[in-house]
Amino acid sequence: MGHAASDEHGLHVSSVEFNLRILASLIFLTFLTYATASMDLGYFDTPVALLIAFGKTTLVILYFMHVRWGSDYVKILSVTGFVFLIFLFAFTLVDVGSRAPEQPWGKYTWPGAAHRTTMIPSVPVVTGHGEHDAHGDEHHAPSSTHSPGHHEDKEAPGSHAQGH
């Protein structure tokens, strides 16, 4: 009676093999995202990682959470949270992105801040533990500044992202 009742009421039962295939795909994508993160993709490092994460999420939602075979109500609800998150991210980031340099912490932001090639050299290399002794003479960094607050003196001439 069990199986008959299930079919009769439109219940979808995934086979063991199907579930295993989804698991294998998810593990494969985990290794893929590890591999792509280790490669130098420049600006695309994070977008690619997020794309793979959304791919994994889609697999979980459609097949493990059975939304693929769910009612229309469930299908709509399963994307509702994400839709509202798009609003949250879009409006907040537009706001923050257009005003950030005026913020007191804006001095730690510079053009191309999201891209590593412009940001890594701008950080003093701290090699020891004593940060207050020997200000300026035993650092291996090309810049002699130690306090990040001094960055604006040295960094990115012609930059417009400094707070002043």
Partner 1 sequence: MVSSSAAVAGHDDHHHNPHLAHHFEDLQQQRESHALGMWLFLAQEFMFFGGMFGAYTIYRYFYPVGWMAGSQQLNVTIGAANTVVLLCSSFTMAMAVRAAQLGSKKGVIQQILLTMFFGSVFLVVKYFEYYEKFEHGLMPFSTLGLEFTNVVKEVPGAQLFFSFYFGMTGMHALHMVIGFGLFVWVIIHTLQGKVTPEKHSVVENMGLYWHFVDIVWIFLFPLLYLLGLNGEPVIGVHH
Give the shortest CB-113-to-partner 1 separation in angstroms: 5
Of 97, 95, 127, the C-alpha closest to 113 is 97
CA-derived radius of gyration, the chain: 25
In terms of CB distance, is 2 or 157 closer to partner 1?
2
Residue whose CB is less far from partner 1, 9 or 158: 9
Of 89, 123, 124, 111, nearest to 157 by C-alpha is: 111
Shortest distance, position 136 Cβ to partner 1, whole Å: 14
Give the nearer residue to partner 1 in terms of CB position, either 104 or 157: 104
What minimum distance in Å lies between the beta carbon of 159 and partner 1? 14
Handedness of CA 100, 104, 105, 111 (dihedral sign): positive
